Structure 1
């Protein structure tokens, strides 16, 4: 792992147990599936590889209690761990609300959980106890509708931002689900998108991974274009299909560079800092990234069914 990851301070491993079994629900019976754990070291950090029996697509950390939420898409459920890595529960069906390939999730500062359901093309909102609250928006190509949900985020006023990959745009709603505005369309000019894949709101800025244009775009909260990070390529600060984006408390960005099988780190002014790649992690299509309350970096991948956790040596 690149020593440049020191930019994220006090890295700790929320899966610090190293031997905790992963739980798999099968016909309402609880079966324990053993983990395959690997450790690779350098002078400063330990990389722990946790091999999962299911496909991990998106991960999120609750700003309220630090719990880790995993979108276990192929098994149509959400898995939850506490901030220390202890398994809490799996959510498969809530009343009459059932998941059909949950793809992305987000937890706001009130503890509300937002889940994008790919098969139903629907955004569901739950309270902190997973009681169903409402559906945000609806499927379509008209103004205020979405087609192909990829990601969700919220700002400090609890407005909701939806990454609409099918219509190549970003939608903004109030916390009650009323449509406010949208921006973007299919294209490669500034402010346009080709299948945007992730939206993250931080410090009055909306950060969007522009997957098909191999770049990350920065906007104001009302959709005004501000900046671009990267371009297509394999060099430092360049991308091949960027996906997940996470921001630490100092504004530093961790961006998944899926096509180049690496994670790139950028400073708060959007300048390149470092990367995590190579034999020390051996990514197989990294997909999403999240940062724990303690500063740990969590990376999920598509092919390897693994979760990587970077933890500082004691």
Structure 2
């Protein structure tokens, strides 16, 4: 991307035919399960910032930021275990994002990327504060390219995406953004939320920008996109922090549905049973399943 020509996001067009999603999101109005009250015990959450699901077991992994750990729940939202960090600072300080890659859990926190087994055993860590290769400044969203297991990391305050190999070797980077907060990949595209605009950038896998879509404003109705998820049909589910909803768009960025959730949703995912799993801040029940 040409850093001398900043990205100019364009509004979504209104002349695209709506594509019916495979999952009928319009039927998801009330949660099937509400669990994990806010607090500091093992089975409760404080400021959860990311959620993902192990496709093999259905277990739900949540980055519990203010409790400095990752907590794991089964598919019925029953607490199983938690794990913390012994890398450098002696604890997992404010984990911001996590993703499952085969038999590993990769976590972004502070200025590092951590590597764990699915049962919470520490394997390795990489990174330090800086602007160079394998250096980070407040890394946030993290995603996996399923075709080769490359790791895509939102290097938030460095306004770029860093790409690492599965063994944590630097491969490439692209930018520049304006505080990239979350990244997701499909077979065709790379999606990045630019936090301060706010908008979603759509790239091909050669890192060529295809379009930028404004998420705020009339017709889109997303106030403050915190993170998002791309389902198997390339529908886009956005955790809208300020409107207390999950906003869902088809691949052409046309609105499909808004799922009302508890106060301040921070992350959303979809499991193998087409259930929408949401974590929220500042609410009685932080984990909700629709």
TM range (shorter): 0.7 to 0.9
Question: Distance in 2 between the 1:86 and 1:240 partners?
Answer: 32
- Partner SS for 1:66: coil
Q: Give yes or no for contact 1:256–1:262 (8 Å, CA) kept in 2.
A: yes
Matched, 1:106 2:99: yes
Q: Which residue matches 1:151?
A: 141
Deviation track 1:206-244 (CA, whole Å, cap 9, x = no partner) reads 1111111111111122321122233432x2325333121
CA distance 1:206–1:137, shift in 2 (3 Å): farther
In structure 2, relative to structure 1, the CA distance for the partners of 1:151 and 1:291 (3 Å cut) is same
Name the SS for the 1:207 alignment partner: strand
8 Å CA contact 1:255–1:264 kept in 2: the answer is yes
Deviations 1:139-176 (A, max 9, x none): 21124422111111101110000001101111111111
Cα distance between partner residues in 1 of 2:91 and 2:75 = 26
**Which blocks of at least 5 consecutive residues in structure 2 are unaligned?**
1-19
Aligned pair count?
268
Secondary structure, counterpart of 2:70 in structure 1: strand
Contact preservation (8 Å) 1:155, 1:204:
no
Other-structure match for 1:170: 161
Give the TM-score normalised by structure 1: 0.75
Q: TM-score, normalised by structure 2?
A: 0.80
Query: 1:60-99, aligned counterparts within 5 Å?
Result: 60-93=52-85, 98-99=91-92
- Identify which of 100, 121, 130 aligns with 2:120: 130
Indicate whether 1:237 and 2:220 are aligned. Answer: yes
Q: Contact (CA 8 Å) 1:116, 1:123: kept in 2 or not?
A: yes
**Runs of 5+ in structure 1 lacking a partner?**
33-51, 186-192
- Residue 98 of structure 1: how far off its partner (Å): 2.7
CA 1:21/1:307 → structure 2, altered by over 3 Å: closer, same or farther? closer
CA contact (8 A) 1:16 1:85 kept: no
Q: Displacement, 1:132? A: 2.3
> Are the aligned partners of 1:194 and 1:213 in contact in 2 as well (CA < 8 Å)?
yes
Residue matched to 2:288: 309
Asked whether the 8 Å contact 2:155–2:161 carries over to 1, the reply is yes
Equivalent residues of 2:87, 2:125 under 8 A apart? no
Structure 1 residues 137-286: aligned runs within 5 Å: 137-156=127-146, 157-185=148-176, 193-233=177-217, 235-277=218-260, 281=261, 283-286=262-265
CA change 1:104–1:213 in 2 (3 A) is same
| 1:8 correspondence with 2:1 | no
Whether contact under 8 Å (1:214, 1:239) holds in the other structure is: no
**Preserved contact between residue 212 and residue 241 of structure 1 (Cα < 8 Å):** no
| 1:68-91 deviations in Å (ceiling 9; x for gaps) | 011111111111012232321111
Secondary structure in 1 matching 2:274: coil
